[in-house]
Chain A
Amino acid sequence: MVDRVLVVEDDPGIRSSLRLALEGEGWEVLEAESGEDAFVWLDRGRVDIALVDLMLPGVHGFDVIREIRHRSRLPIVIVTARTDTHDVVAGLELGADDYVTKPFEVRELVARLRALLRRARPTESSPAHFSFGDVEIVPAAGTVTLAGEAVLLTRTEFRLLCELAVHAGQILSREQLLERVWGYDYLGDTRLVDAHIRRLRTKVETDPAHPKLIVTVRGFGYKLEP
């Protein structure tokens, strides 16, 4: 089945060139020039991954991300015109999985999309079942429950949690997590890890402000307390 990439971008030039490039990669490209258009595509049928420009006329990119997250675990890559830390972090906090900055290199973008699409598929070889206090993780089914209630995690959050769970009790540095979950080397942005850890905590911690399960080890990284 051909993967369907939703490109939410108001600049017609970028949109068309992206369509050419991504179609060249064997994907089907759904073009949306506004947030409203994007919602139409999402209503209409299957989308495998979304590329969202934050600076959109009308509905802002942030609202598109919020809306997508409200509906699904669809992987999202944000396109930002500025490296403005604020924009990137805000987008990630809303649930975006990754980001690229304009002017980006299309090969870099394709690599990001591929990594995310891979992540979106069910992981094949994982232990059958993890249990930490109230939290139950079933990797094969891709499900997590907190005190018996199902928790909806994005694929990236799920991968992150599984990575921490497999190495429960061990400290994993941001760099290690970037490499194992996102497929980045050392040159990646560690804010990706921090933002996703924060989101993950709001979902699996009883008191996210005082995490008991996923703890920060200052100066080193993160650790899942068994």
Chain B
Amino acid sequence: MNIGRLLARARGGLRARLIVGFAAVSVMVTAAVSTGTYLLSERYLMRERTETATRQSFVDARLVREVLVAENTTPRQALERVELPVGAQALINRGDEWFGSSVAFGEDSLPIELRRKARDGVAASQRSDLLGELRLVVATPVPSIDLVYYEIVSLDELERTLAVIRSSLMVAAVGTGLAAALVGWWASRRIIRPVAEVSAASARIAGGDLTARLGRQRDAQLQRVSRSFNAMADALQRRIDRDARFASDVSHELRSPLTTLATAADVLAGERESMTPRAAEAADLIATETTRFRRVLEELLELGRADAGADLLEIEDVPLGELVLAIVGSISGGDCVVELAPNVAGTRIATDRRRVTRILTNLLENARTYGLGASLVTVDRDLGVVRISVEDKGPGVPIDQRDAVFERFSRGATAGRRGSEGSASGAGLGLAIVAEHARSLGGRVWVEDGAGGVGARFVVEIPA
């Protein structure tokens, strides 16, 4: 058996490799021990049987000699005096004459090698397949009366004993293999468990839960892994907190000057008529860019609050259908069709009004900026979730960017094409805020192809 190849095949993972490894090694060891045991017992049993048969044969040969010498009978009569064990046969060879206890066995059935040895006066025994059965033939020359006494005993019983031993050893080998596989499974679980814990904690951190830590490990080695993992998580959390705090502080500091700028820009816009064209154009630029600045800042502040965990949920009974109609009406005007499922229209749903409003507003503005405007908004509800979808007839979102669009400061492939309305859009934080709010409501958001493969459909699913 080739462990290397077996292991190579079991690339299913550390666990599978451990289980197969354990089983393979134990089967090999058991097989070797079993084979050894079997060979030893076979040799021992065979020798025992041969010795017994030889001894018996000597005794019987002596009996035949005594009968022949003392009573002067024929060899056949002498043979009748011998009490042979069950299944045993005897033959006497004197000169060229053969006398047998059974007609089944004649001189021809005896091995030639053995006959030659016996004729030379050497006592010998040989195993041989006679009449379809393994038998032992013992030749005892009796030189004093110039004959050879042959006894043939069946080895059937021995064969049966050996068969029993063989099958018990085989069962033992298979059993040990299974047991070893079980041990391997158990051991792998013990080894895998800390690995699984690390993996779960890493996944939680990757998913945004920076408080994920590993517990104390009993094993000193694992404890070291656990400690460094926790140290890494601590450092990461500190760093992210610091970055978030910095972004939040900066945003807060920008509030007041920006309010001044926006207000002053508005005053300028009001005086536009009395300005020279150059001044008017400059005033327009200031107004547009201040608006954009304000939106970016609002988005940053909103994300900052979410990051700081300061944005608590405020659940109230919201007339979702009416809210959706109002929001779509104020942002998309009459170009967008709204479809409310019958179980949504006219009912209230316990959720966070501000978040839902922000989610829908951002999706509609995203559609306006990148998707030629929202064409269809649907709201339906089943099995404890509410689904809001916003569909547009724009270029859609390529499959490989469908996760990336929800990341911060991502603007998708069409970012380069920013129209006049596009300049009023934010910093690419709109969809990140949607994802953040959907998550805080215990829901999720994704993007798929619009109806008929045209455009994009953003779907938000929140529990209700």
With A11-B260, A103-B262, A103-B294: A220-B348 Cβ-Cβ less than 8 Å: yes
A85 to B317, CA, bound (A): 18
With CB as the reference atom, state the residue of chain A lying closest to B312. A85
Q: Is A106 an interface residue (CB 8 A)?
A: yes
A55 to B364, CA, bound (A): 34
Q: How far is the CB of A138 from chain B (nearest CB, A)?
A: 34
When distances are taken between beta carbons in the complex, the residues of chain A under 8 Å from B327 are 186-187
Majority SS of interface residues in chain A? loop
Does B319 lie within 8 Å of A103, measured CB to CB? no
When distances are taken between beta carbons in the complex, the residues of chain B under 8 Å from A84 are 310
Does B305 lie within 8 Å of A107, measured CB to CB? no
Q: How far is the CB of B252 from chain A (nearest CB, A)?
A: 7
With A83-B305, A185-B330: A17-B270 Cβ-Cβ less than 8 Å: no
Chain A interface residue count: which class?
Answer: 20 to 34
Does A105 lie within 8 Å of B294, measured CB to CB? yes
Does B357 lie within 8 Å of A187, measured CB to CB? yes
Interface string of B289-328 (1 = CB under 8 A from A): 0000010011001000100001010101101001100110
A13 to B259, CA, bound (A): 9
When distances are taken between beta carbons in the complex, the residues of chain A under 8 Å from B310 are 84
Does B270 lie within 8 Å of A105, measured CB to CB? no
Does B305 lie within 8 Å of A175, measured CB to CB? no
Q: Is A150 an interface residue (CB 8 A)?
A: no
With A106-B262, A186-B323, A187-B357: A13-B348 Cβ-Cβ less than 8 Å: no
Q: How far is the CB of A155 from chain B (nearest CB, A)?
A: 26
Does B326 lie within 8 Å of A106, measured CB to CB? no
Does B256 lie within 8 Å of A219, measured CB to CB? no
When distances are taken between beta carbons in the complex, the residues of chain B under 8 Å from A105 are 262, 266, 294
Q: Is B161 an interface residue (CB 8 A)?
A: no
* New A-B contacts (18) at CB < 8 Å, excluding given A11-B256, A13-B259, A81-B256: A13-B257, A14-B256, A16-B260, A17-B259, A17-B261, A20-B264, A20-B267, A21-B264, A24-B267, A84-B310, A103-B262, A103-B294, A104-B259, A104-B262, A175-B322, A186-B323, A186-B327, A218-B317
Interface, chain A (partner B; CB < 8 A): 11, 13-14, 16-18, 20-21, 24, 81, 83-85, 102-107, 173, 175, 185-187, 189-190, 218-220
Interface, chain B (partner A; CB < 8 A): 252, 255-264, 266-267, 270, 294, 297-298, 301, 305, 310, 312, 314, 316-317, 319, 322-323, 326-327, 330, 348, 353-354, 357
